[in-house]
């Protein structure tokens, strides 16, 4: 492209140059012809008695003049000069040449008006430019077409393998037809990488599922043993307190295992989405369940259902757990005499339920990590939790296609907004 531009820019001067050289050549030829005539017929053909000779075409595009000059004057040039011919000042390209005949020096001038020269230059330049541009255009189009044709497998690979697939859900491998070995290699490599990732995901899910299942039985046995020990009449109270501590710790283990199992079940899509529930009803259930926890810190709870709708094709148990965990967090990380506001309303992109608290807030730096498993954020270390509350929330939301938005201000509080997609909404 740079070369083409350079070429187009240089074109006028190049053409001009060529044209000038051509003119000069013609001038020299005319001079030679004239000298020939002088040689053959003598100078007298043109000049008699020291008079100068001059001749020009009616429109003064060309002229010839022959004159005597001083003896030792020498000149042989071609250059642009101005001449006045019958009151008209015209720029000419002039060949000047001195020669001697019979001991006298004569100067010959042949001129061709610059205007005529550029008159031919103009059209020439235009034609050249047009041809050049046409060729450039043709080349570009051919290039584009060819590149497109050659790279079609590549764009197909990108379109079907990279853009079409929503990570980490994958489709079956479909070969992209191509004879170029590089593209075949690329296609297969991408496919293999996706497969490897998929397998890793699958393995992780299976592992969590198997591990938590396997842990359930020993936990069950231990729990039963402790419970049976409580039944024993002859156990001292001091020992009972320690058994209770054990029971608490076992409960913690049980909770973690159950939560991991739940997440893996959600991710393996083992839950049905067949329930319908009114938002007002769901939120009331949450309140009934959780109101006892508000007492401790004397938290004010406000429930604003601006638009009530029916959620369809959802899992009630999971949605309950999602909201329970969010509200529970809003209580846990709240300040004494704080407030929690639940708002449910129709929005532009769907239906939203937002939970706003006046709690300790989340550091902006921590915000991207709050949904990671076992990620304990500094302030949450003060609380009795093991960092799986928000991962549950995230899994359940993803399972239902719900988007979560979090905004937070340190020491002011946080807002979690759930945006429900249209396909699970039924307006009343």
Partner 1 sequence: MNVLIIEDEKALAYEMELFLTKNNFICELCFNGKSASEKIAVNLYDFILLDLGLPDYDGLDLLKEAKKSHPETACIILTARAEVNDRITGLDLGADDYLPKPFSLLELQSRMQAITRRKFGLVNHIIELDGFLVNLTDRNIVYQTTPVTTITKKEFDLIAYMLLNKNRTLTRAQLSEHIWGSIVNDDYDSNFIDAHIKNIRKKLSVHATADWLETVRGLGYRIKATV
- Positions touching partner 1 (CB under 8 A) are 213, 216-217, 219-221, 223-225, 227-228, 230-231, 237, 240-241, 244, 247-248, 251-252, 254-255, 258-259, 261-262, 265, 270-272, 288-289, 292-293, 295-296, 317, 320-321, 324-325, 328, 332, 384-389, 392
> Are 195 and 165 in contact, with CB atoms under 8 Å apart?
no
Is 80:90 a contact under the CB 8 Å cutoff? no
User: Is the Cβ of residue 217 or residue 306 nearer to partner 1 in the bound state?
Assistant: 217
Exposure b/e, 195-210, CB count within 10 A at least 16 = b = eeeeeeeeeeeeebbe
Which of 138, 80, 143 lies closest to 113, judged by CA?
80
> CA-to-CA distance for 218 and 213, rounded, in angstroms?
10
Half-sphere CA count of 60, side-chain side, radius 13 A: 12
Dump the DSSP string for 45-86: GT--TT--EEEE-TT-SEEEEEEEE-TT---EEEEEEEEEET
Contact in structure between 388 and 373 (CB atoms under 8 Å): yes
Return the number of the residue (28 or 250) whose C-beta is nearest partner 1: 250
In the complex with partner 1, the residue whose CB is nearer, 291 or 409, is 291
User: Judged by CB, which is closer to partner 1: 110, or 370?
Assistant: 370
* 180 cis-preceded (ω within 30 degrees of 0): no
Min separation Cβ 284 and partner 1, Å: 12
CB closer to partner 1, 40 vs 296: 296
Contact between 259 and 286 under an 8 Å Cβ cutoff? The reply is no
Helix or strand (DSSP H, E) at 52: none
| Rounded least distance, CB 414 to partner 1, Å | 17
Closer residue to partner 1 (CB): 170 or 386: 386
66 versus 263: smaller Cβ distance to partner 1: 263
How many Å apart are CA 379 and CA 381, to the nearest integer? 5
Find the shortest distance in angstroms from Cβ 168 to partner 1. 22
Closest distance to partner 1 from the beta carbon of 211 (Å): 12
End-to-end Cα separation, the chain, in angstroms: 62
Determine phi and psi for 57, rounding to 5 degrees: -75, 160
The residues, any chain, with a CB within 8 Å of residue 215's CB and separated by 6 or more, are: 253, 257
359 closest CA partner among 376, 343, 382? 382
State the Cα–Cα distance between residues 112 and 10, nearest whole angstrom: 25
* φ, ψ at 421 (rounded to 5°): -75, 160
Q: Is the Cβ of residue 86 or residue 233 nearer to partner 1 in the bound state?
A: 233
Comparison of 148 and 284: residue with beta carbon closer to partner 1: 284
- Torsion of Cα atoms, 329 then 332 then 335 then 340, to 10°: 40
- For residue 336, the minimal CB distance to partner 1 (Å) is 15
d(C-alpha 208, C-alpha 215), whole Å: 10
Radius of gyration for the alpha carbons in the chain, expressed in angstroms and rounded: 48
Min dist CB 197 to partner 1, Å, is 26
Question: In this complex, which beta carbon is closest to partner 1, that of residue 261 or of residue 402?
Answer: 261
Helix, coil or strand: residue 111 = strand
* Cβ-based nearer residue to partner 1, 332 or 400: 332
Contact 344, 352 (CB under 8 A): yes
Query: d(Cα 91, Cα 256) in Å, to the nearest integer?
Result: 99
């Amino acid at each position: 492209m740079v070369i083409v531009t350079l070429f187009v820019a240089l074109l006028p001067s190049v053409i001009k140059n060529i044209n000038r050289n051509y003119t000069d050549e013609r001038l020299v030829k005319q001079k030679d012809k004239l000298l020939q005539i002088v040689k053959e017929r003598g100078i007298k053909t043109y000049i008699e008695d020291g008079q100068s000779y001059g001749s020009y075409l009616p429109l003064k595009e060309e002229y010839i003049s022959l004159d005597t000059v001083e003896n030792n004057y020498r000149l042989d040039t071609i250059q642009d000069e101005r001449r006045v011919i019958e009151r008209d000042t015209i720029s000419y390209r002039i060949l000047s040449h001195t020669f001697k005949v019979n001991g006298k020096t004569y100067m010959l001038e042949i001129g061709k008006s610059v205007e005529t020269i550029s008159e031919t230059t103009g059209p020439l330049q235009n034609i050249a430019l047009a041809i050049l541009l046409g060729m450039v255009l043709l080349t570009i189009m051919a290039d584009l077409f060819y590149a497109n044709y050659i790279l079609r497998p590549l764009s197909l690979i990108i379109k079907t393998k990279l853009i079409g697939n929503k990570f980490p859900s994958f489709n079956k491998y479909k070969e992209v037809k191509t004879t170029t070995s590089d593209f075949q290699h690329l296609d297969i490599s991408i496919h293999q990488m996706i497969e490897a990732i998929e397998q890793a995901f699958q393995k992780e899910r299976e592992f969590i599922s198997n591990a938590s299942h396997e842990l359930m039985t020993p936990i069950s046995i231990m729990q039963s043993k402790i419970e049976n020990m409580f039944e024993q009449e002859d156990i001292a109270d001091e020992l009972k307190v320690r058994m209770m501590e054990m029971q608490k710790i076992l409960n913690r283990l049980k909770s973690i295992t159950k939560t991991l199992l739940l997440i893996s079940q959600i991710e393996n899509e083992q839950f049905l989405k067949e329930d319908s529930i009114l938002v007002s009803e769901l939120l009331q259930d949450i309140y009934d369940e959780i109101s006892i926890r508000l007492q401790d810190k004397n938290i004010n709870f406000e429930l604003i259902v601006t638009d009530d709708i029916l959620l369809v094709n959802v899992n009630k148990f999971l949605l309950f757990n999602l909201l329970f965990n969010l509200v529970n967090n809003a209580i846990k990380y709240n300040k004494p005499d704080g407030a929690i506001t639940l708002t449910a309303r129709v929005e532009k992109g769907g239906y939203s339920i937002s939970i706003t608290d006046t709690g300790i807030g989340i550091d902006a730096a921590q915000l991207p990590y709050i949904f990671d498993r076992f990620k304990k954020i500094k302030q949450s270390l003060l609380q009795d939790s093991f960092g799986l509350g928000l991962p549950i929330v995230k899994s359940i939301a993803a399972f239902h296609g719900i988007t979560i938005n979090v905004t937070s201000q340190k020491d002011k509080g946080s807002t979690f907004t759930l945006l429900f997609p249209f396909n699970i909404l039924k307006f009343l």
